[in-house]
Amino acid sequence: MKEIKSIGVYCSASERVDGVYKTSALELGKQLARHNLTMVYGGGAQGLMGVVANSTMEAGGRVIGFMPDHLKEFEDPNWNITELHMVDTMHTRKKLMFEHSDAFFVLPGGFGTLDETFEIITWRQLQLHDKPVIFINVNGYWDPLEDLMSNIIEQNFAKKEHRQYFKFVTTIPDAFKALQTAPEQTSHEPLEWV
């Protein structure tokens, strides 16, 4: 398997979520630093995004953020990370996060988290990449989504082999173990962007 050096992290920017999710975000940041993996994310200072990024930095890790300029109206940029790149659009942010990440961890999040994650899974389905996508199912948050995705496959809206394109785990340590057991990666042509 290709060596994994960076992890794209998708998660909530909400400050209103339960403390159990913040605790997991804090632990994920520590473990990313411990495993010497660069965190790649959306560049915000708030919510779980900020907790993971700040925790990674405090543990001596490296963090790269990509934030569209217009998001400054909704959330604060995190200037306390290794590299923060202000970009022009969400499209550019997604592209750069994809290019800088060797795999993806998905903590609990809302519509934005789902948008970015499903785009990555769809690209995998279309054989545009083979990077692992791992949902960290803290407190059973992703249970309904896992059921829905199983139903999509059972009802033949996706193929059975597409189930291997993502994994659900329940703990932070299990997420790192899942990286070691990810399917063999193959080389793909880089994505072309309009």
One digit per residue, the tens of pLDDT, for the chain of length 194 reads 468 999 999 999 999 999 999 999 999 999 999 999 999 999 999 999 999 999 999 999 999 999 999 988 888 999 999 999 999 999 999 999 999 999 999 999 999 999 999 999 999 999 999 999 999 999 999 999 999 999 999 999 999 999 999 999 999 999 999 998 765 555 445 444 33
**Strand 63-68 vs strand 38-41: parallel, antiparallel, or unpaired?**
parallel
Structure confidence at residue 83 (pLDDT): 98
Structure confidence at residue 194 (pLDDT): 36
The CATH architecture to which 6-180 belongs is 3-Layer(aba) Sandwich (3.40)
Instruction: Provide the CA 145 distance to its chain's centre, in angstroms.
Output: 16
DSSP per-residue codes, 141-165: TTHHHHHHHHHHHHTTSS-GGGGGG
What residue segments make up the domains of the chain, in order of their start? 6-180
Provide φ and ψ at 19, rounded to 5°. -60, -25
Q: Cα separation of 34 and 28, whole Å?
A: 10
Q: Cα separation of 73 and 62, whole Å?
A: 26
